[in-house]
Structure 1
C-alpha cells in the first residue's frame, strides 16, 4: 500500500470592493492502494491544481481531506476505513473551522450506500468517474451552505472514465519514473475478484494518446515508464472490429495491440526503459514475446500474476487458462527472451484448495524458480463468486500455507541473488545509495544497494559485489562495462 500526504492550497479570490470573498481552501489527500489508484490520485490533484490551487504539505491544516481508498481485499478495506476514521478523529480537535471529509476510490465506488449509513462523519462519497471533477465537487461542498442530512453520495454506476494525454495530472512519484495507465476496467470473470464490478469493462486508450503522454513524460526527464492497467496484454483488443475472445492471444494482424503500442513508444527520443506490469497469461503470444525481446526500450521483466497452477483450482478461479498453457508459456518466455525476469503472484487458501493442490503449487514454484514472486492469502470478497463457494479455508490454514510458500520463495530468491554476484547490471538510481535494476519494479521488488553515491534519477552500470537477503550490493563501474544480468 502507498499512502501519500499531499495538501493543496487554493488561491484566494477577490472581488471589487471586497478584500476577501472566502478563505483559501486547503485540500489534503491520503492515497491508498495500487499504482492504478495512485494515478487516479494524481489526476484528482491535477484537476485541483488546474483550478488555481497551490500545493503544500500539511494534512492537519487542510480544510478538506480526500481519502482515495482501496477496496480490493479485506486488509485494504480495513486500512481505508482506519484512514477515514483517523482523519475524522483529528478534525474533531480542530479549534476553528469545519474540515470536510471526502471519500473516493474503489471502496467508495463499491460500497458508497452502505458507507454513507455507517460513516455519517463523511461529507461526500465520490466514485471513479468523478476523478477528473474532484475540484468542482470540493468547491461545491464549500459553496453549499444548506444543511444536508448525511453525506452526499455522488457515486454513479459502473465506471466509464478513461484519462487522455492532456488530462491534468500532478505526479506523486519521484521525477525519474512514472505510471502510465493505458486502459481501464477488465473483461475477465475471475471468481475471487470484483474489480469489473467497480471499474467496468476493459476500455483501451488510443495509441496516439498514450504515445503523446509518454513523449511528454520523457521530455520532463522520466527514465522509466511503467505501463499499467487491469490487463495490460489485452490492450487494444477491445477496439478490434471482430470481438476478441477471453483466451485470444495478442495478434497485431487483427487490430491495435500492445505490440503496436510498444513499437510507437520505442520511436520516442531519449534514454528510458518501459516496464510491463499486470499482464495476463491468457493473452501472451509468440509475437508479443518476440516483440519484447527485440525492443531495446522494453525491460526484460514480465509481471504476470498466475494465481495458481493446479488445474481444478484454476477452473474454480475462472482464470481462463490452464496448467499446461502456463507451463508451456513460462518455458517459451525463457527461451525467447534471454535473461528475462519473471514476476508473478499466487493465492493460497482459495475455497476448496486441498493440501495436495497446495503441494502442486509448491512443486511448480520450486521447479520454475521465479525471479520475483508474491503470495496472498485468499480474501473472501462480498459479491464475488468465490465468496459464495463452500469449503472456505480456515484463517490458520491459509496462514500456514502462506508461510510455507514464502519460505520456499525466500530460499529461491536468496540463491538467485547469490548467483548474480560478479555480474554488471544497468540500474536506475533511486536515492544516492539505492538503485533498481531492469528486474526491479518500484515498491514491490528488491533493490540494489550502492557502496558510493550516484546522481539520483540517472542510469549507471554497477557490478554486483554481494547480497543482503533479497537485495543486491553493488559498486559503480565504468560506463563502457557491458551489462550481463
Structure 2
C-alpha cells in the first residue's frame, strides 16, 4: 500500500475533517504511518484561526518540506483553514508544496493527489465555502481512542464577532440533518464509543437553519443510542435555553458540563466584540445553570488585551471570576487578525500589559480551580479510564464527568484495576490545581 503521514493541527472540528480525509485516502489504497521519512505523501491539515496557529502551521509545513528535500519523490499537500484564508499567498511563498486544497475540496483528495505529476507543483484548488456538509456516508478513520469521539454537528458560523475570521473561512452556518447525525452516532457506538462530544463553532445555533434545535437533536440521540456519556462543547452564552438546561437535569447521560466561551465579562468590551450579551446576562446565565443543573461544571475562555480594554474592565473580570467560581477557564491575550474588524480598533493594549493581565487572571483562576476540585474530595465519582498514566506506569489515568478530553485535568487512579474505556466508580482522595487522585471502589 501507498504510505502517507498526516499532521492535523488546530481544534477538534479540524480533527474530524482530518479523520474523514484519512478515511477516504485509506479507501484509495493509502496507509498512514507515524514517520514522515517512510511516507510517499506528506499531508498537513492546518488551522488558520489566529496568528499562533498560522505560525505553527507554517513551521510544520517547512519541517515536512525538509523531509521532502531529502527525498524529492515525496509529495507535500497542504489543506485546511490556512489554505482557505491565505491560499494564493501560500502558493507564492511555499514553492516546496505540491498541492494546496481548500476546505470544500478535501473529500476530493484521493482524486487530486492521483493527478499530481512530477513536474507540476504548487497547484491551488480553492473555492468559497459553499453549502457543503460532511455526512455519515463518508468514510472516517478515528484518531481518538476507540472509546471516545467527536460529533461535528454544524459547519460555519453566523455570529460576526469582530475579532474572528471563522465566518469568512468556513462560511455561513449549516446544520447537519438530525437523522444523519443519529446514523453516525450509532456507528460510533457500535465501534465502542462511550463518550461522544458534540462540537460546533456554536453548538446552540444547531438547527436554526432547519427549523430544529439542539434539545431536539439531543432527544433523538438519547432515544436512538445508548452511549453513556454525551458532552456539550462550545455553546454561545446568549443562546443557552432553559429547555436545554432542564433536559440536562432530566437526562444523566447528558453530562453536567458546559463549555461556554464568554470571551470577556465587561459589557463595554463585549459590545466592541459584537457579542450579544453583557455582564448582567452572564450573571443571570450562571444563576440559571446553578439553579437548574446544580452540579454542572462550567468551562469558559476569556480574552485579555482587546483594543480599548481598561484596568477597570480587567478588575471587573477578576471580580466576576471570584464571584462565579468557574471550574475551568482558558485565557489568551488578544492579537489582531488580518481582515477582522477589531484589527482596526483603537487604542491598542501594549503587549507587556496584555501579558501582565494574562498572568493575573491565570493566577486567580488556578486558585479557584483547585478550590472547585477540593469539593470532590471524599465523593464517589464515575470515571472514564483512559489507560496507563502518562506520568508513570504505576497509575491509571481517567476523567470524571466534569473533565473534558484533552483540555481539562484528569484523575490519577492509584488503586484498583481497569481497562481503557471502562467507566468505574472512584473515591476521590486528593485534589491538586487541575487534577484529582483516587482509587477504584467498583
Match of 2:19 among 26, 32, 42: 42
The 1-side partners of 2:123 and 2:330 are apart by 38
CA deviation after TM superposition for structure 1 residue 270, in Å: 3.2
The 2-side partners of 1:119 and 1:52 are apart by 28
Match in the other structure for 1:65: 42
| Match status 1:477 vs 2:441 | yes
1:30–1:67 Cα contact (<8 Å) kept:
yes
Stretches of 4+ moved more than 4 A in 1? none
The 2-side partners of 1:54 and 1:100 are apart by 15
The 2-side partners of 1:271 and 1:229 are apart by 19
Match in the other structure for 1:391: 347
Please give the secondary structure, in 2, of the residue aligned with 1:456.
coil
2:267–2:277 Cα contact (<8 Å) kept:
no
Match in the other structure for 1:308: 264
Match of 2:221 among 249, 257, 265: 265
1:435–1:448 Cα contact (<8 Å) kept:
yes
Match of 2:152 among 172, 181, 184: 181
2:4–2:31 Cα contact (<8 Å) kept:
no
2:154–2:173 Cα contact (<8 Å) kept:
yes
CA deviation after TM superposition for structure 1 residue 133, in Å: 1.4
Match of 1:239 among 205, 210, 223: 210
CA deviation after TM superposition for structure 1 residue 53, in Å: 2.8
Match of 1:437 among 386, 391, 400: 400
CA deviation after TM superposition for structure 1 residue 26, in Å: 2.2
CA deviation after TM superposition for structure 1 residue 271, in Å: 4.6
Please give the secondary structure, in 2, of the residue aligned with 1:282.
helix
| Match status 1:374 vs 2:330 | yes
The 2-side partners of 1:162 and 1:382 are apart by 27
The 1-side partners of 2:308 and 2:334 are apart by 11
CA deviation after TM superposition for structure 1 residue 167, in Å: 1.1
Match in the other structure for 1:328: 284
CA deviation after TM superposition for structure 1 residue 63, in Å: 1.2
Match in the other structure for 1:421: 377
CA deviation after TM superposition for structure 1 residue 296, in Å: 2.2
Note the aligned Cα RMSD (angstroms).
Answer: 1.2
CA deviation after TM superposition for structure 1 residue 336, in Å: 0.3
The 2-side partners of 1:231 and 1:313 are apart by 20
CA deviation after TM superposition for structure 1 residue 158, in Å: 2.4
The 1-side partners of 2:33 and 2:265 are apart by 48
The 2-side partners of 1:52 and 1:124 are apart by 19
| Match status 1:80 vs 2:44 | no
Please give the secondary structure, in 2, of the residue aligned with 1:422.
coil
Please give the secondary structure, in 2, of the residue aligned with 1:82.
helix
The 2-side partners of 1:449 and 1:183 are apart by 34
State the Cα deviation string for residues 20-51 of structure 1 (Å, max 9, x = none).
Answer: xxxxx322111100000000100100110122
1:375–1:402 Cα contact (<8 Å) kept:
yes
Please give the secondary structure, in 2, of the residue aligned with 1:171.
coil
TM-score by length of 1: 0.88
Worse-superposed segment, 356-365 or 158-167: 158-167
TM-score by length of 2: 0.96
Please give the secondary structure, in 2, of the residue aligned with 1:357.
helix
State the Cα deviation string for residues 37-79 of structure 1 (Å, max 9, x = none).
Answer: 0001001001101223334332211112111111111111110
Please give the secondary structure, in 1, of the residue aligned with 2:79.
strand
| Match status 1:120 vs 2:95 | yes
* Count of matched residue pairs: 434
| Match status 1:99 vs 2:99 | no
The alpha-carbon distance between structure 1 residues 271 and 187, as it changes in their structure 2 partners (threshold 3 A), is closer
CA deviation after TM superposition for structure 1 residue 267, in Å: 1.5
Please give the secondary structure, in 1, of the residue aligned with 2:56.
helix
| Match status 1:196 vs 2:171 | no
Alignment of 1:8-19 (within 5 A): 11=1
Please give the secondary structure, in 2, of the residue aligned with 1:299.
strand
2:195–2:228 Cα contact (<8 Å) kept:
yes
Structure 1 unmatched runs, 5+: 1-10, 12-24, 241-255, 479-485
2:5–2:32 Cα contact (<8 Å) kept:
no
Alignment of 1:118-197 (within 5 A): 118-141=93-116, 144-145=117-118, 147-148=119-120, 151-197=122-168
The 1-side partners of 2:169 and 2:230 are apart by 28
State the Cα deviation string for residues 145-199 of structure 1 (Å, max 9, x = none).
Answer: 5x33x51010111243311111111111010100010000000000010000000
Please give the secondary structure, in 2, of the residue aligned with 1:92.
helix
The 2-side partners of 1:467 and 1:166 are apart by 44
CA deviation after TM superposition for structure 1 residue 225, in Å: 0.4
Match of 2:187 among 216, 237, 243: 216
Please give the secondary structure, in 1, of the residue aligned with 2:231.
strand
**Structure with bigger gyration radius:** 1
Please give the secondary structure, in 2, of the residue aligned with 1:238.
coil
